[in-house]
Amino acid sequence: MTDKNTIPDSNAIIDERRQKLQKLRESGWSHPNQFRRTHLAAELHAIHDGQDNAGLEPASINVAIAGRMMLKRAMGKASFATLQDMSGRIQIYVTKDAVGEDMLETFNQYDLGDILGAEGTLFRTRTGELTVRVNHVYLLTKSLRPLPEKFHGLTDQELKYRQRYLDLITNEMTRKVFTVRSKVVQGIRNFLTERGFMEVETPMMHPIPGGATARPFITHHNALDMQLFLRIAPELYLKRLVVGGIEKVFEINRNFRNEGLSTRHNPEFTMLEFYEAYADYNDLMNLTESMLRKIAVETTGSARLVYQGREVDLESPFDKLTICDAMSRYHPAYTAEKLNDRVFVGAELDKLGIGFQKDDGLGKLQLMLFEETTEQLLFKPTFIINYPAEVSPLARRNDRNPEITDRFELYIVGRELANGFSELNDAEDQAARFSEQALQKNAGDKEAMHYDADYIRALEFGLPPTAGEGIGIDRLIMLLTDSPSIRDVILFPQMRPE
């Protein structure tokens, strides 16, 4: 920390409020914590919805509410103010007649942003707004800093990310996004546990990073004097659990990848991974489709969404295409015949300036061409299937064609959302594929996988036939909240230090 960060900055407004706080302290006020509320704002609106003032005011319904004062309208001998709690907003009305001159004067000293508690009775104003006629109002927390402009709120993207608390105070849309996020995660938990899956937590610190091809963050454990890696995926641990007999298992947690930042990448991101024994990748595609459909309806009210102005239909059956079929559909010039001609595919990659190795298989070249030309066009939900074995070191080979695997990726709005496959449970095949990855790592490929001997040992005890999948939660939230950047759906996205 530099001096700049430890010396409290000040301006006329902050100085003024510090003086108010000082006077409060001198009067014996000391951040009281005995106020208890009876209702949230939204509860009061819900309970008394449709009730007019003739039915409301004579009933003298006592309520106690608390929240941050967001607006204030003082009129000499009476004041209106708007309090905001986690559920929404409600208006209070403080009058000299009801609270006396002293309390009104005290109330008028309170600032926007202060946390207040208020007791009183309900009525409706002549414009019909449900309001608490206050007979006691308490200052619970003094706010020393002025809030952002009351109408526009906080719009500066940098400040929204760095000071998310301010963004949450002032922008209802931001609160909505994270409310939806919470509901989505809860909905996924319910969906899976209802189907007999068990939620677990596996290590975040791995002696050997595995389960994906990505560069890891490296850290060090002092007492053990050993290098550790923040996990890039939980996959190998979850499959160890399936070996252990937890036949339906899932984890929702953070992965860390030491790679670039973008609107679709944050170095730490949330992944759902789940594994089901005695199931294959077709079962997972079915499960994924019904889960996404259900979650969309639960959290947005519909399986027909709009993302950045375009309709996304999660209601109709998703497309299911092989890598080559997808290219042929979106680029009719790429006929099946041409795509199976290694010379043609290689020439296309050359034309696009994409480098490849002489010993890369046709399947890998097709995948590279697909990623360059077609991936971003898959706006409509589409399962892409038949991934080549050479880029799928943890997936089961296809029974009819050992060059490809029983694997899929799900694309929606041109982005990868999920990746799943029938698991490779042949311990000897897995050992051979690890060896191959280890060779590539020694040859300088920073992303090739390590040889994980304990994982092989686990497989040697026997992994039942299993299928597993990962779903990027942040990207799912982006889709469901119509957010253009992953930073909009992560409360505290990675930023450079101030």
Partner RNA sequence: GGGGCGGUAGCUCAGCGGUAGAGCACUCGGCUUUUAACCGAUUGGUCGUGGGUUCGAUCCCCACCCGCCCUACCA
Residues that bind RNA (CB under 7 A): 11-13, 16, 20, 71-78, 80, 82, 91, 95-97, 109, 111-112, 123, 125-129, 131, 145-159, 161, 212-215, 232, 257, 259-260, 262-263, 265, 354, 409, 416, 419, 447, 484-485, 487, 493, 495-496, 498
DSSP 8-state class, residue 216? P
Nearer to RNA, 140 or 214 (CB): 214
> Which tokens go with 365?
């070249």
Nearer to RNA, 187 or 211 (CB): 211
Judged by CB, which is closer to RNA: 32, or 484? 484
For the bound state, the minimum distance from the C-beta of residue 91 to RNA, rounded and expressed in Å, comes to 5
Is residue 435 a contact partner of residue 218, using CB atoms and an 8 Å limit? no
With respect to RNA, which residue has the nearer C-beta, 28 or 128? 128
CB of 170 to RNA, least distance (A): 8
Residue 392 CB, shortest distance to RNA, in Å, is 8
Of 188, 191, 212, 246, nearest to 466 (Cα)?
A: 246
Give the number of other Cβ atoms within 10 Å of residue 490's Cβ: 21
- Tell me, what DSSP letter sits at residue 211? S
- Select 125 or 290, whichever has its Cβ closest to RNA: 125
Q: How far apart are the C-alpha atoms of 31 and 115, rounded to whole Å? A: 10
Closest distance between RNA and the C-beta of residue 70, in Å?
A: 8
Give ∠ CA 434-424-456 in degrees, rounded to 5.
45
Q: Which two tokens stand for residue 14?
A: 């902050």
Distance CA 167, CA 150 (A): 12
Question: Whole-number minimum distance, CB 433 to RNA, in Å?
Answer: 15
Distance (Å, rounded) from C-alpha 14 to C-alpha 10? Answer: 6
Q: How far is the CB of 112 from RNA (least distance, A)?
A: 5
Shortest spacing between CB 467 and RNA, in angstroms = 16
CA pair distance 89, 98, nearest whole angstrom: 22
State how beta strands 248-256 and 198-199 pair: parallel
Q: At what angle do helices 235-243 and 453-461 cross, to 10 degrees?
A: 30
Which CB, 187 or 237, lies closer to RNA?
237
Nearer to RNA, 162 or 183 (CB): 162
Nearer to RNA among residue 303 and residue 391 (C-beta)? 391
Nearest residue (CB) to RNA, 36 versus 126: 126
Kindly report the number of other CB atoms within 10 A of residue 212's CB atom: 20
Rounded to the nearest whole angstrom, what is the least distance from the CB of residue 388 to RNA in the complex? Answer: 11
Nearest CB to RNA, comparing residues 74 and 226: 74
Task: Give DSSP secondary structure letters for 141-195.
Answer: E---SPPSPTTT----HHHHHHTHHHHHHH-HHHHHHHHHHHHHHHHHHHHHHHT
User: Least distance (Å) from RNA to the CB of residue 440?
Assistant: 11
CB of 40 to RNA, least distance (A): 18
Closer residue to RNA in complex, CB, 206/487: 487
Identify the burial level of 183 via C-beta atoms within 10 angstroms of its C-beta, where 0-12 means exposed, 13-18 middle and 19 or more buried. Answer: middle
* SS3 assignment, position 100: helix
- Contacts with 219 (C-beta within 8 Å, 6 or more apart), sequence order: 205, 227, 228, 229, 230
Structure tokens at 48: 């008394």
Give me the half-sphere count of Cα atoms (radius 13 Å) on the Cβ side of residue 350: 8
Q: Quote the CA–CA distance of 78 and 133 in Å, as a whole number.
A: 11
Shortest Å distance, C-beta 34 to RNA:
26
Q: CB of 459: closest distance to RNA in angstroms?
A: 21
Per-residue b or e along 330-361, where b marks 16 or more CB atoms closer than 10 Å to that residue's CB: bbeebeeebbeeeebbbebbeeeeeeeeeebb
223: CB partners within 8 A, 6+ apart: none
Task: Pick the closer one to RNA by CB: 23 or 195.
Answer: 23
